[in-house]
């Protein structure tokens, strides 16, 4: 997954209630509350603030009892990319598709993108089952999927990732053997058709 480490400069406001003790720890705490799980259009989702350095002197702003510190923040971000193949865990099954956990957010595999087979939704399990191949997808399954759409908005709740598993090698690991058997069947049918075609030409 595309995780990145950045160093950014910012001013952190430390209110009177947070003053005293180790100022670096206070600033890290405030920065985490302010930044973590937020979105930046260029950087992606800010997953963690893991360090603060180059802390300047606290500046008093007239009319504000807080101290303002110029600091460097070391942050970890996640930015999903279209066409990226990711490993994820199925977190929820709904009639319209499967939600999967991708790093700090969830993505959706629409029912039409789950497998190259007619899909049956079983609400009791809940699960999606392939009519011809008997492939099964349910909660807590680990899968490989390809990201096909990314829409990052102001908040995680409004951001969307769309994925597909309708390509060879994607889906659950055990699906690969099923896909190989299906491809072998297609090859046999094609050979048979080609043989009949040649015989008819004679």
- 66/109 same-domain check: no
User: How far apart (Å, rounded) are the C-alpha atoms in residues 27 and 74?
Assistant: 12
- 96/166 same-domain check: yes
- 57/133 same-domain check: no
What pLDDT shows up at residue 194? Answer: 64
With 0-12 / 13-18 / 19 or more C-beta atoms within 10 angstroms meaning exposed / middle / buried, residue 66 is: middle
Averaged confidence pLDDT in the chain: 89
Structure tokens at 117: 């087979």
- Tell me, yes or no, whether 112 lies in a domain: yes
- 45/8 same-domain check: yes
Whether the predicted pLDDT of 66 surpasses 80:
yes
- 95/178 same-domain check: yes
Is residue 195 very low, low, confident or very high in pLDDT (cuts 50, 70, 90)?
low
Whether the predicted pLDDT of 30 surpasses 90:
yes
**pLDDT over 90, % of the chain:** 61
User: How far apart (Å, rounded) are the C-alpha atoms in residues 25 and 14?
Assistant: 11
Q: Which of 126-130, 146-150, 195-199 is predicted with the least confidence, judged by mean pLDDT?
A: 195-199
- 73/92 same-domain check: no
- 71/90 same-domain check: no
What pLDDT shows up at residue 193? Answer: 61
Whether the predicted pLDDT of 148 surpasses 80:
yes
- 73/99 same-domain check: no
Indicate the residue among 29, 63, 78 that finishes a domain.
78
Q: Find the domain containing 162 and state its range.
A: 85-185
Whether the predicted pLDDT of 63 surpasses 90:
no
- 95/64 same-domain check: no
User: Under a CB-based contact definition with an 8 Å cutoff, are residues 82 and 150 in contact?
Assistant: yes
What pLDDT shows up at residue 124? Answer: 95
With 0-12 / 13-18 / 19 or more C-beta atoms within 10 angstroms meaning exposed / middle / buried, residue 153 is: exposed
Query: Per-residue pLDDT tens for 67-123?
Result: 999 999 999 999 999 999 999 999 999 999 999 998 888 999 999 999 999 999 999
What pLDDT shows up at residue 181? Answer: 80
- 133/115 same-domain check: yes
Nearest C-alpha neighbor of 164 from the set 175, 149, 176, 153: 149
- Tell me, yes or no, whether 199 lies in a domain: no
What is the domain-level CATH number for residue 156?
2.40.50.140
What pLDDT shows up at residue 115? Answer: 95
User: How far apart (Å, rounded) are the C-alpha atoms in residues 13 and 27?
Assistant: 8
- Tell me, yes or no, whether 146 lies in a domain: yes
User: How far apart (Å, rounded) are the C-alpha atoms in residues 91 and 102?
Assistant: 10
Indicate the residue among 22, 47, 78 that finishes a domain.
78
User: How far apart (Å, rounded) are the C-alpha atoms in residues 65 and 200?
Assistant: 93
- 64/122 same-domain check: no
- Tell me, yes or no, whether 28 lies in a domain: yes
Please give the average per-residue pLDDT across 27-51, as a whole number: 90
Structure tokens at 192: 């048979």
What is the domain-level CATH number for residue 36?
3.30.1490.120
> What is the rounded (10 degree) CA torsion for 47, 48, 52, 57?
70
- Walk across the sheet containing 127-130 and list its strands: 119-122, 127-130, 136-138
- 65/45 same-domain check: yes
Residue written as tokens 């048979």? 192
Say what the pTM is.
0.76
Whether the predicted pLDDT of 145 surpasses 70:
yes
- Tell me, yes or no, whether 167 lies in a domain: yes
Counted domains in the chain: 2
């Amino acid at each position: 997954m595309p995780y990145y480490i950045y160093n950014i400069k910012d001013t952190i406001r430390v209110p009177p209630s947070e003053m005293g003790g180790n100022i670096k720890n206070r600033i890290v705490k405030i920065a985490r509350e302010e930044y973590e799980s937020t979105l930046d259009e260029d950087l992606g989702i800010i997953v963690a603030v893991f360090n603060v350095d180059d802390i300047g002197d606290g500046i008093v702003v007239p009319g504000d009892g807080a101290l303002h510190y110029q600091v460097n923040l070391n942050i970890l971000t996640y930015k999903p990319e279209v066409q990226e193949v990711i490993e994820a865990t199925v977190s929820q099954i709904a009639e319209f598709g499967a939600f999967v956990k991708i790093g700090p957010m969830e993505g959706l595999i629409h029912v039409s993108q789950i497998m190259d087979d007619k899909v049956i939704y079983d609400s009791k399990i809940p699960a999606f089952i392939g009519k011809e191949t008997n492939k099964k997808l349910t909660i807590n399954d680990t899968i490989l999927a390809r990201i096909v759409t990314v829409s990052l908005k102001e908040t995680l709740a409004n951001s969307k990732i769309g994925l597909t598993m309708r390509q060879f090698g994607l889906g659950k690991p055990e699906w690969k053997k099923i896909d190989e058997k299906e491809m072998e069947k297609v090859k046999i049918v094609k050979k048979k058709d080609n043989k009949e075609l040649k015989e008819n030409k004679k």
